[in-house]
Amino acid sequence: MITLVLGAQWGDEGKGKLTDILCAEASLCARAQGGNNAGHTIVADGQTYDFHILPSGLVNPKCLNLVGSGCVVHIPSFFKELEDLQKKGLNTKDRIHLSDRAHIVFDLHLLIDGLQEGELTQAAEQEQLNNGQVVVAKKSTGGAIGTTKKGIGPAYSAKHARSGVRIHQIFNKDEFDKRLRVLARGAQKRYGSAIEGYEVEEEIARFNTYREQLRPFVVDAVPLMASAQKSNTNILVEGANALMLDIDYGTYPFVTSSATGTGGAISGLGLSPFKIKHIIGVVKAYTTRVGGGPFPSEALNDDGDALQRIGHEYGVTTGRRRRCGWLDLVLLAHSHAINHYTTLNLTKLDILDHFDTIHVAVAYKPSHPPSSSTSPSHNPSASHPQNAPIEDFPADLDVLDTCDVVYEELEGWKGKGKVAGVKRWEDLPDGAKRYVEFIEGRVGVKIGFIGTGVGREDMVVR
């Protein structure tokens, strides 16, 4: 039996907590895609653990863990994360495997990531200059992507250009050295003096040390996963990032570089779709995102500041302040259409204890196009004519940039009870129950798990 736990928004929904709960019954926990740009925090037995590339199933001492073929791995960070977990008393010995087909993130890729972000920023600043005057920039288009600068995008670019290096190639020193030198020469031609501080021979020398250290972790994941599925092993797949950061279905180009949904899990681990029993979409009770890109329901007011402050919304991987806004059901319906959730996990509902009124985005509608005298010209999308209702989440970021959001206001439960710490559905405030049922009615998927606090025990299961 296979269970997928997938982010339904822009990440940081709290997938790690549900994974931690479910992995108690799992024999194998696996990551299918992404790299150490992901971040999960788990609080177990009073100890806080931060996970980035490693599956959080390591918290369960009986669970085997796999970093799958669709992942990209920065080897120094892999070892550093293992070391940090072990220092906190977590025994990881013989419980973490790394697919030999996963690709390597080199220090070179980290450098390139930063250079590319800088180029995008410079290009956006130049574009804003119009005859010597700065014009209003669109919030959804242009500028840096806002990556974690962990080298993930450049590593996936090399993979798809067929110039990347896979884990198994580390153990063929001559081939490995040759391929890394080719990558470095290509970067030198592209970026010139900007990468003069990078020394390819120094990185090769570091891998001479990593080679034998890494060997005990590396496996052929294809027979491992095939055997586990054939024997009906309880497999838990821990999604990284989230659907709205998917390379195909997210807010491109403000996305990550991998397939973050159901399809990416299947291809990244070699899963049989016929063996998948549960697809759990994890959705925060409000919405957050980190980095650039569109965010229709972003609350650029006191409500957004309160959500950020009360929810302690800072990225696990980068420490960056998250942008905050209200729950967006147009976005969630789009996410469900791609991932086909069987159940939802609504997280951080307790944060809404502090609000008298709760706003929920239920639709988008066209607004008047921006004046050409004050804003860049706008060309209506062929797929969304200028005055047509916007019934689905659009691919065109210009459409998102000029749409109005339709909200429904729901009465909060401030002063009428608290969600925080509740363990049973019947103990939730009536307003919180109405909020949950409102979401279910609009999306058409049952909310089977409700997060009511930071601890693993703070969960209502329906």
- Which ranges of 3-106 would DSSP assign to H, the alpha helix? 15-22, 75-87
Is 20 among the residues known to form the active site?
no
Q: Catalytic residue among 40, 103, 359, 384, which?
A: 40
**What is the residue whose two structure tokens read 């290509």?**
186
Q: Catalytic residue among 12, 100, 246, 328, which?
A: 12
Q: Are 351 and 285 in contact (CB under 8 A)?
A: yes
Using the Cα atoms of residue 72, residue 76, residue 81 and residue 86 in order, give the sign of their dihedral: positive
- Which ranges of 162-289 would DSSP assign to H, the alpha helix? 173-191, 200-214, 221-230, 262-269
Is 107 among the residues known to form the active site?
no
For residues 156, 161, 162, 163, the Cα torsion angle rounded to the nearest 10 degrees is: -80
Q: Are 56 and 25 in contact (CB under 8 A)?
A: no
- Quote the CA–CA distance of 195 and 115 in Å, as a whole number: 9
Angle, alpha carbons 218-221-224 (nearest 5°): 115
Helix, strand and coil content of the chain, in percent to the nearest 5, comes to 40, 20, 40
Q: Are 268 and 70 in contact (CB under 8 A)?
A: yes
**What is the residue whose two structure tokens read 């009124």?**
357
Q: Are 316 and 41 in contact (CB under 8 A)?
A: yes
**Element spanning 442, H or E:** helix 430-443
What residues are labeled active site?
12, 40
